[in-house]
Amino acid sequence: MNYKETLDWMFNKLPMYQTQGATAYRKDITNTLLLAKHLGNPEQYLKCIHVAGTNGKGSTSHLLASVLQEAGYKVGLYTSPHLKDYRERIAINGKSISEEYVTDFINKNKPFFEANELSFFEMSVGLAFKYFKEQNTDVNVIEVGMGGRLDATNIITPLISVITNIGLDHTQFLGDTLEAIAYEKAGIIKPNVPVVIGEYVAQTKPVYLAKAEETNSKIYFASDLIAETFPSALIGDYQTQNKKTVLQTIKVLQSQNDFTITEKNIKDGFLNVIINTHLYGRWQQLGENPKIICDTAHNSHGLKIVLNQLKKESFDQLHIVLGVVNDKNLDEILPLFPKTAKYYFCKPNIPRGLDAEILKEKASGYDLEGETFSSVSNAYKAAKEKAMSKDLIYVGGSTFVVAEIL
């Protein structure tokens, strides 16, 4: 199989949460352990920082990787989902894994994958760990896919565990209370491994403290310990907490003799994060006159912050290109959106995408009015045609909507 055929096989033949939803969710890590053994347990040779959380784990992971790159380290970065190309998920110092490596890995191990019915995510984790080991990275930033305790990435023993925050997302898998979700995220905390908590609330702090005591892990609450941050190329309001989380994580790393990271490395890492790691879709400005902003926020915790930031913008009329996936709790997120905006409802081009007519009908119950479009690109085109120079266009609701317009 060539690269395109390899990706088609991965996407279409095996379970993949981002397109299929619940049917792709694994309730244990048995398959991942089986795959790791088949590959020679590459994870055991890697120095890692493990990053979980409801929101902000992607930004936090990229900021950490950028700082470490500026400090001169060879940094592996594993994240998900990708926006445009699968290879974005696996990179070293900002350079994505090659098409040839992906193709060779899948072709070589395809019989094993098929025999054991491995999921898309399990294969991807195995690919990343093997690649990082073969490339002899100095340190690797590993972003959790979903949850933590049962996530395929949770076969590593990291240098530091990081949990950015907790919100009500993926409740059908992780539980419908903050305490239950915190318990799943806290599953990445390992015996005698320090843990950094980015944000906490009254319901989640006791869960973290209990887990840290159980594992004899030193725990750091970044929001209490870090007062100021540095400027960053990531300019969304929500990045303040992510930067505090990174700064606390770097402090813990600096206390480990293997790492030398200067204040200049940190400042440059923050400022050069997009150049160094190619992170896109986080309060990203795409145009002027009218101003166009896109953001991948897709649950109530993230959207509250992003939509509050929209209120601070100056514009005559707000246009919102909106699409979501079909397992999203619309009664939780739609009330957050402004009633005065003009809406362009669309369906992201994946099986899990919610039909635009259904979204429009549900939105009208919250006095959000607009038109439906046959695709994200058509909705975006219509918004740009109708918006005046002093208006603002916001594109979001789903990572997949943003991916289609970038």
For residue range 325-373, list pLDDT tens digits in order. Answer: 988 889 999 999 999 999 999 999 988 899 999 999 999 999 999 999 9
Q: Report which of 57, 56, 51, 127 is spatially closest to residue 87, judged by C-alpha positions.
A: 127
Whether residue 175 has pLDDT greater than 90:
no
Would you call 285 helix, strand, or coil by DSSP?
A: strand
For residue range 292-311, list pLDDT tens digits in order. Answer: 999 999 888 889 999 999 99
Which residues pair with residue 345 across a beta bridge? 322, 372
pLDDT at 20: 46
State both tokens at 77: 């970065």
For residue range 265-293, list pLDDT tens digits in order. Answer: 999 999 999 999 999 999 999 999 999 99
pLDDT at 287: 95
For residue range 111-124, list pLDDT tens digits in order. Answer: 999 999 898 899 99
Indicate the pTM of the whole model: 0.90
Backbone angles phi, psi at 286, to 5 degrees: -110, -15
> DSSP alpha helices (H): ranges in 56-119?
57-70, 99-116
pLDDT at 65: 98
Is 95 exposed, middle or buried, given 0-12, 13-18 or 19+ CB atoms closer than 10 A?
Answer: exposed
For residue range 86-117, list pLDDT tens digits in order. Answer: 999 999 999 999 999 999 999 999 999 999 98
Per DSSP (E only), the strands in 300-391 are 318-322, 342-345, 370-372
Would you call 248 helix, strand, or coil by DSSP?
A: helix
* Greater pLDDT, 148 or 52: 52
- Spatial contact of 232 and 60, defined as CB atoms under 8 Å apart: no
Confidence of residue 168 (pLDDT cuts 50, 70, 90): low
Whether residue 24 has pLDDT greater than 70:
no
Residue with token string 């916001």: 394
Lowest mean pLDDT among 237-241, 265-269, 319-323: 237-241
Q: Report which of 175, 227, 224 is spatially closest to residue 199, judged by C-alpha positions.
A: 224
pLDDT at 301: 83
Would you call 1 helix, strand, or coil by DSSP?
A: coil
